[in-house]
């Protein structure tokens, strides 16, 4: 678990907090290795290192990918690394002088992977709990829709908790899908107190499941990196999510109309066809879901930007997805 500036699982501080001029010996995760050749034909490698907070690229000279592999160092290896931190064009630069498989065999990949700021189990359980609270059994005529949602989340608990929610835009981290869904369920719940004619059970089920298809649209590596699957390209997560819902209804006494509305919400949560919606929101819960989705994505992008901005500073370029530079106020 990662909090503040200390990785609770390794007791090591952020790599990006190391001072210029310092040298470090510490465990890290190698998540990628890229070999390059200098102009004289000598191989060197760029290694991507994860410390549980972010990715850092470091150079290691006079070695090759094959050399490293011979020493059992491949992508997704936990290593003990010796690094030197220097300055380069005003930014920190990292050089690796030595890499070896980590001596501490208790360390695992997951100890170095960035996670959301809320514990995964806490979020998962809170979603289930809120779905239960919102359940509506229509005076015993039907099984609540919440039950359908919970059955799905129970069956796919593991990928639902670990999938990323994007390749690069927002919530692109291990557990990103869960974190995104979690905050949306909470926002949905809060807004139902303001817009009281909204169907709370329906909106919460929609918030919890709207991106469930991303489990199959992306493959998320153990290190939290997402990549498109061929099914993602051929069908998209809207169709796959809607199909999933449909497959979970057979043999259950759900209110059919309400299941239809849930499927409609998944198909329409991108809002307009221009942004990939299969159909446009035709009920208020679908429209509310669309805005809650967008809002959460944008809030995440601001939070990401604010991590590296000083107060009173503007970002040095337009942020993709935000249409403007970002400013961090100074109060």
Enumerate residues 58-97 that contact a second copy by CB under 8 A: 61, 88-89, 93, 95
Contact 29, 112 (CB under 8 A): yes
Cβ neighbours of residue 168 under 8 Å, at least 6 residues apart? none
Name the segment binding a second copy (CB under 8 A); options: 17-25, 152-160, 203-211, 294-302.
294-302
**Residue 294 interacting with a second copy (CB under 8 A):** yes
Which residue's structure tokens are 């779905």?
131
**Residue 197 interacting with a second copy (CB under 8 A):** yes
DSSP-assigned letter for residue 327:
B
Residues 139-178 that bind a second copy (CB under 8 A): none
Question: Site for a second copy (CB under 8 A): which residue of 19, 38, 139, 158?
Answer: 38
**Residue 283 interacting with a second copy (CB under 8 A):** yes
Residues 222, 79, 90, 35: is their CA dihedral positive or negative? negative
**Residue 12 Cβ vs a second copy, minimum distance, rounded to whole Å:** 26
Q: CB 275: neighbour CB atoms within 10 A?
A: 10
Residues 305-324 that bind a second copy (CB under 8 A): 312-314, 322-324
Question: Site for a second copy (CB under 8 A): which residue of 22, 36, 125, 154?
Answer: 36
**Residue 105 Cβ vs a second copy, minimum distance, rounded to whole Å:** 30
**Residue 40 interacting with a second copy (CB under 8 A):** yes
**Residue 302 Cβ vs a second copy, minimum distance, rounded to whole Å:** 4
> Angle, to 10 degrees, between the axis of helix 200-209 and the axis of helix 145-155?
20
Closest C-alpha among 28, 13, 23 to residue 73: 28
**Residue 42 Cβ vs a second copy, minimum distance, rounded to whole Å:** 7
Question: Site for a second copy (CB under 8 A): which residue of 8, 25, 98, 228?
Answer: 228
Cβ neighbours of residue 312 under 8 Å, at least 6 residues apart? 328, 329, 330
Contact 86, 17 (CB under 8 A): no
**Residue 142 Cβ vs a second copy, minimum distance, rounded to whole Å:** 9
Name the segment binding a second copy (CB under 8 A); options: 75-83, 121-129, 208-216, 236-244.
236-244
Region of 268 (left: φ > 0; alpha: ψ -120 to 50; beta: rest) is alpha
């Amino acid at each position: 678990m990662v909090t503040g500036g200390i990785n609770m699982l390794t007791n090591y501080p952020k790599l990006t907090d190391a001072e210029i001029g310092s040298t470090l010996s510490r465990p890290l995760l190698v998540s990628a290795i890229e070999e390059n050749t200098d102009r004289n034909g000598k191989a060197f490698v760029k290694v991507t290192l994860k410390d549980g907070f972010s990715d850092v690229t470091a150079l290691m000279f006079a070695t090759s990918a094959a050399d490293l592999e011979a020493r059992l160092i491949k992508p997704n290896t936990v290593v003990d690394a010796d690094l030197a931190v220097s300055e380069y064009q005003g930014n920190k630069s990292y050089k690796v002088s030595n890499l070896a498989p980590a001596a501490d065999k208790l360390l695992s990949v997951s100890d170095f992977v960035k996670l959301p700021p809320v514990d995964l189990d806490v979020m998962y359980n809170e979603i289930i709990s809120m779905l239960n609270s919102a359940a509506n059994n229509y005076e015993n005529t039907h099984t609540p829709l919440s039950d359908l949602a919970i059955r799905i989340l129970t069956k796919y608990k593991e990928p639902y908790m670990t999938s990323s929610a994007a390749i690069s835009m927002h919530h692109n981290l291990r557990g990103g899908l869960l974190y995104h869904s979690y905050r949306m369920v909470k926002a949905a719940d809060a807004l139902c107190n303001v817009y009281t004619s909204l169907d709370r059970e329906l909106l919460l089920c929609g918030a919890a499941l709207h991106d469930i298809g991303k489990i199959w649209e992306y493959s998320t590596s153990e290190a939290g990196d997402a990549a498109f699957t061929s099914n993602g390209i051929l069908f998209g997560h809207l169709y796959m999510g809607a199909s999933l819902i449909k497959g979970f209804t057979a043999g259950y006494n759900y209110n059919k109309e309400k299941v239809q509305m849930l499927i409609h919400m998944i198909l329409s949560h991108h809002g307009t066809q221009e942004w990939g919606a299969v159909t446009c929101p035709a009920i208020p819960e679908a429209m509310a879901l669309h805005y809650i989705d967008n809002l959460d994505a944008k809030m995440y992008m601001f939070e990401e930007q604010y991590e590296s901005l000083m107060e009173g500073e503007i970002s040095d370029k337009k942020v993709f997805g935000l249409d403007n530079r970002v400013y961090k106020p100074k109060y």
